[in-house]
Amino acid sequence: MTVFLSGISVVCFAASYLVALGCEASRPFFRSGVRGAVLLGFAAAGFFAHTLFLGWRAATEQAVPLSSPFDWYLLASWLLAGGYLWLMLANPRTQVGLFLLPVVLGLIGAAQLSSRAPFPQSPATQVWGVIHGSFNLAASVAVAGGAVAGLMWLIQAARLTRKRAPVQGLRLPSLELLATTSRRTAQVAAWTAAAGFASGLVLNAVNRRRGLLETVPWNDPVVLRMGLLVAWLVVAAIIARSLARRPDAARTIAWLSLVSFLVLTGSILWGVLGPTRHGVPPGPVTAHEAAP
Amino acid sequence: MTLAFVGGTHRTVPLPLRERLAFSAEQAAEALERFRLRFPGREAVLLSTCNRVELYAAGEEAATPPPAEQLVSFLAECRGIDASLLAPVLARESDEAVVRHLFSVASGLDSMVLGEPQIVSQVKQAWALAQRTETTGPLTGGMFQAALRTAKRVASETALGRERLSIPSVAVADFARGVFETFDDKRVLVIGAGKMAHETLRYLREAGASDIVVVNRTADRADRLAGRLGGRPGRFADLVTELAAADLVVSTTGASEPVVTTDLFARAELDRGGRPLVVLDLALPRDFDPAIGTRPGVWLYSIDDLGAACEANRRRRQRELPAAVAIVDEETRRFMGDLHHRTTAPVIERLRAGWTETGDAELERLFRRLPGLDESTRAEIRQAFERYTAKMLHSPLTSLRNESRSGPPHGLLEALKRLFDLKE
């Protein structure tokens, strides 16, 4: 059993999701009696392997489970993959995989580029670390989910404006559902991102007072990018709320959610590629791949 | 001949004659009972819908199905029609053509509306009725099961039955459902008394709509319409208020000028609170000023827009036809291969029995000569003989099966009979 679990690699579930994405992408081109079963099989197998992989890492890592940037991205992609599976089973008449699976695969790609080394931890900061990471994770998943809903809203609205029947194999959820999802995720993303940022400040203060970790300066790239992201998400949530009773609110929120996703993507790329003191133990300053 | 068919459809039988020829469920059951007594040992299934009456008959060897003329006379007799009236309008088929026809019928390829799905359940009901009256057997059983499998494949592997063709169904399923997730919390406003309003509301009610308001220029008419459509009447004078409260409007007045102008709509829009509005303008001339469709949050569909979507769906169905026909052809070939292979069963049985008998006799002789063999050794030798027999039979049986795909393998069967001296 141990050999089996330790043998599961990122490639296993990434390949499964890729096959599922291929099946989704082929829907508009031809019909098949077995595609649904193949799609569900690969998506479920990928999710199962993904779960085992994360479980195995949580059980075998020395630090708090899933605390490295690598694990963090994989956990975010796992949540989105789970959401995709749930949507596929709960509402099989609509096809959302074409939009959700690329995000899942993108996060897995980001994980591959990130450090697998866990952040240095101490019992004193562990709780704040978990809170900080969890809020940031929730914000990122909400932004990604909102962007997928927003993109689908724009495509569905374009079809309805052009007065065309749905394309074979690309039946999207209703505008009502997509608009509700975008609106709610905008609020959730803003609140959780703000909470994540605030808990990060507390964590930093605790570290500084106790000399446990290198203090992250205000001009650190991670602080800047997270600050920008939080600022944007809060502005987007305020705009979304203020437009609620206007007839063009849904379209504006859809665009806002896409911009939020671009800001998040830029923030992740900045984090993956840039140097930081975020999560660095006390000692000489070194370039370090950042956590989100 | 093992399979026979006579039948007429909307294409071949004039409506007055089709009405006389149609069977109710009770009449069909009586007809099948009569068939069983008249043609013992034969199988029959009677399919009667509003567009077709078809009798499928089957039988083997001594009890081959009755000739087509007898089947025509039988149908005429059952419905009290002069057979000379039916004979020129009923189609007749035999063997493979019967199978292909049934598979096409079950898949909706022979229907008035290409790909319509109701025919599958009608075929199922016809087969179930024949089972109850005990006129089915292995031939019709296999054929109807294969027909249902073919219909299922056509439905799942092509988009033939997916595209909607009527304006109300397209309006609700392809457009209104694209905007709203549910209809049970939506207000539906019906303006006017056009005939398409009733049909559109049927689809909306199936989707969950229950809050329906009907307005008409004449209050009495609105009352009557509301009663008929299962909604409540509203006053035409309150049209602005009703528009402000509505989520979906079905408009079918006979007015020569737009009933809802941009000015009137602008007043209603003030109280809508930004909620989206779907307008199905099914009137000709249009009831809504087309400029209203450019307002944010308004999804306005005229009868021309919906008609164009229906036409596009119709063309898509036609494009699916070759794929559906290919499935029917493939399933027909498979069924006929299996049917032909059935005819080889007696010869295979005799061949197998001959080899087994010879093998058993040789084994007995061997065991008598070697009395010292223990039971496990005997079992090993017996199994070796069985494996040898199976392997020797494998090639001729495979050849028979392959040959069956293109027709009854009479030549091979004859050769096997002569080579191995197989007696009838």
Rounded CA separation B135/B32 (Å): 7
Per-residue confidence (pLDDT) for residue A285, from 0 to 100 = 43
Q: Which of A166, A177, A246 is opposite residue B181, by nearest beta carbon?
A: A177
Evaluate the CA torsion angle A77, A80, A82, A84 in order and state its sign. negative
Among B266, B247, B282, B272, residue whose Cα is nearest residue B176: B247
Local structure of residue A105 (DSSP, 8 states): H
A247 vs B: CB within 8 A: yes
In chain A the first and final C-alpha atoms are separated, in Å, by 33
Residue A140: closest CA among A199, A78, A87: A78
On whether the CB atoms of residues A67 and A127 are closer than 8 A, the answer is no
Average pLDDT over residues A150-161: 95
Backbone angles phi, psi at B176, to 5 degrees: -60, -40
The number of residues making up chain B comes to: 424
Interface test with A, best of B169, B181, B281 (most A CBs within 10 A): B181
pLDDT per position as a tens digit, B178-208: 999 999 999 999 998 767 788 788 888 888 8
Looking at CA atoms only, how far is residue A4 from chain B in angstroms? 38
CB-based contact B276 A176, cutoff 8 Å: yes
Instruction: Spell out which residues of chain A touch residue B244, defining contact as CB-CB under 8 Å.
Output: none
- pLDDT above 80: residue A87: yes
Q: Tell me the pLDDT band of A289, cut-offs 50, 70 and 90.
A: very low
Lowest-confidence segment of A215-219, A241-245, B290-294, B362-366 by average pLDDT: A215-219
What pLDDT, on a 0 to 100 scale, did the predictor assign at position A214? Answer: 63
From CA B86, how far away is CA B13, in angstroms rounded?
Answer: 8
% residues pLDDT > 70 (chain B): 98
All residues of chain B having their beta carbon less than 8 Å from the beta carbon of residue A90 are: none
Percent of chain B at pLDDT exceeding 90: 47
CB B178 to CB A244 under 8 A? Answer: no
Q: Which residue of B has its CA nearest to A246?
A: B274
A253: contact with B, CB 8 A cutoff: no
Peptide bond before B285: cis, by omega within 30 degrees of 0? yes
DSSP bridge pairs for B190: B214, B250
Residue (of B219, B183, B216, B218) closest to B201 by Cα position: B183
Q: Which residues in chain B have their CB less than 8 angstroms from residue A248's CB?
A: 296-297
Residue of A nearest to B275 (CA): A247
Shortest CA distance from B171: residue in chain A: A165
In the CATH hierarchy, which fold is given to the domain comprising B167-309? Rossmann fold (3.40.50)
pLDDT grade, residue B101 (50/70/90)?
very high
CA angle A188, A228, A221 (to 5 degrees): 125
Q: What is the pLDDT of residue B61?
A: 73
Peptide bond into A217 cis (omega under 30): no
- The rounded distance, in Å, linking the Cα atoms of A73 and A81 is 12
What is the per-residue pLDDT for A213?
63
Share of chain A above pLDDT 90, in %: 40
Where residue B424 falls among pLDDT bands split at 50, 70, 90?
low
Q: Who has greater pLDDT, B27 or B341?
A: B27
- pTM (2 d.p.): 0.69
pLDDT band at A288 (very low <50, low <70, confident <90, very high): very low
| Active centre residues of B (catalytic) | 50
Does the structure show a pLDDT above 90 at B326?
yes
Say if CB B328 and CB B96 are below 8 A apart.
no
**Mutation to test the A interface, candidates B158, B160, B179, B320, most A Cβ within 10 Å:** B179
Distance from CA of B187 to the nearest CA of A (A): 15
Report pLDDT digits (tens) over A15-26: 999 999 999 888
Task: State the average pLDDT for chain A.
Answer: 83
Q: What is the mean pLDDT of residues B377-392?
A: 90
What are B351-355's contacts with CB under 8 Å, separation 24+? B351/B393, B351/B396, B351/B416, B351/B420, B351/B422, B352/B389, B352/B393, B354/B420, B354/B422, B355/B389, B355/B392, B355/B393
Contacts of A208 (CB under 8 A, 6+ apart): A215
Q: How far apart, in whole angstroms, are the C-alpha atoms of residue B271 and residue B295?
A: 15
Average pLDDT over residues A53-64: 78
Q: What is the distance in angstroms between the Cα of B296 and the nearest Cα belonging to chain A? A: 5
Q: What is the pLDDT of residues B284-310, one digit of tens each?
A: 788 999 999 999 999 999 888 888 888
Closest CA to B269 of B289, B299, B297: B297
Q: Which residues of B touch A173 (CB under 8 A)?
A: 181
User: Is the CB of residue A284 less than 8 Å away from at least one CB of chain B?
Assistant: no
**Given an 8 Å threshold on Cβ–Cβ distance, is A245 in contact with B273?**
yes
Answer for the pair B186, B248: CB distance below 8 angstroms, yes or no. yes
Contact B114, B318 (CB under 8 A): yes
Contact predicate A56/A121, CB 8 Å: no
Name the average pLDDT for chain B. 88
Cβ contacts (< 8 Å) between B323 and chain A: which residues?
31
Least reliable range by pLDDT among A217-226, A238-247, B235-244:
A217-226
pLDDT in tens, B118-150: 789 899 999 999 999 999 988 999 999 999 999
Domain ranges of chain A: 2-273
Mutate to test the interface with A, among B156, B271, B298 (most CBs of A within 10 A): B156
Distance from CA of B400 to the nearest CA of A (A): 31
DSSP, collapsed to helix, strand or coil, labels residue B232 as strand
Are B127 and B32 spatial neighbours (Cβ–Cβ below 8 Å)? no
- The Cα A116–Cα A118 span in angstroms is 6
Residues of chain A found within 8 Å of residue B175, distances taken between Cβ atoms? 160, 163
Confirm or reject contact between A175 and chain B (CB < 8 A).
yes
Q: Find the Cα–Cα–Cα–Cα dihedral A17, A18, A23, A27, rounded to 10°.
A: 110
Q: Given a cut of 80, is residue B376 above it in pLDDT?
A: yes
Terminus-to-terminus CA distance in chain B, angstroms? 21
Task: Report the SS3 class of residue B166.
Answer: coil
Write the pLDDT tens digit of every residue in A166-219.
887 788 999 999 999 999 999 999 999 999 988 888 887 877 777 666 667 777
Amino acid A156 reads Q
For B308, the token pair is: 């164009």
DSSP string, A226-250: HHHHHHHHHHHHHHHHHTTTSTTHH
Classify B192 in phi/psi space as left (phi over 0), alpha (psi -120 to 50) or beta. left
Judge whether B137 and B58 are in contact, CB under 8 Å.
yes
Contacts of A250 in chain B (CB under 8 A): 276, 297
Contact between residue B45 and residue B136 where contact means Cβ atoms under 8 Å apart = yes
Strand ordering across the sheet containing B52-58:
B43-48, B52-58, B3-9, B91-94
Which residues neighbour B393 within 8 Å (Cβ) at sequence distance 6 or greater?
A: B351, B352, B355
Exposed, middle or buried by CB within 10 Å (0-12, 13-18, 19+), for B312?
A: middle
Which residues, numbered 66 to 125 in chain A, qualify as contacts with chain B under a Cβ-Cβ cut-off of 8 Å? none
Candidate ranges A34-48, A64-78, B196-210; pick with highest mean pLDDT: A34-48
The pLDDT of residue B322: 92
Inter-chain touch A164–B309, beta carbons under 8 Å: yes
Q: Report the C-alpha gap between B26 and B31 in whole angstroms.
A: 9
- B158 three-state secondary structure: coil
Q: Which residues of B touch A163 (CB under 8 A)?
A: 175, 301, 305, 308-309
Backbone dihedral region for residue A211 (phi beyond 0: left; psi -120 to 50: alpha; all else: beta): left
Q: Which phi and psi angles does B259 have, rounded to 5°?
A: -80, -35
Task: Check CB contact under 8 Å for A250 and B276.
Answer: yes
Confidence of residue A62 (pLDDT cuts 50, 70, 90): low
- Match 């025509």 to its residue by tokens: B72
Domain spans of chain B?
A: 3-161, 167-309, 340-419
**Structure tokens given for B374:** 């223990």
Candidates A96, A160, A167, partner chain B, best to mutate (most B CBs within 10 A) = A160
User: What is the distance between the alpha carbons of residues B120 and B126, in angstroms, rounded to a whole number?
Assistant: 10
Superfamily of domain B3-161: Glutamyl-tRNA reductase, N-terminal domain (3.30.460.30)
Would the CB atoms of A173 and B301 count as touching at under 8 Å? no
Please, what's the b/e burial string for A157-167 (b: 16 or more CB within 10 A of its CB; e: otherwise)?
bebbeebebbe
pLDDT at A26: 87
By C-alpha distance, the chain A residue nearest B276 is A247
Q: List the single residue in A156, A165, A245 with the smallest CB-CB distance to B312.
A: A165
Cβ pair B200, B171 in contact under 8 A = yes
CB contact under 8 A, B276 and A246: no
Out of A31, A159, A175, the one facing B157 most closely (by C-beta) is A31
Neighbours of B114 (CB within 10 A): 18
d(CA A37, CA B254): 50
Query: What are the phi and psi torsion angles at A115 (to 5°)?
Result: -75, 140
Q: How far is CA B179 from CA A184, B18, B186, in A?
A: 18, 43, 12
Residue A244: which of B158, B274, B313 has the nearest Cβ? B274
Inform me whether the pLDDT recorded for B338 exceeds 90. no
Shortest distance between the Cα of A164 and any Cα of chain B, in A, equals: 6
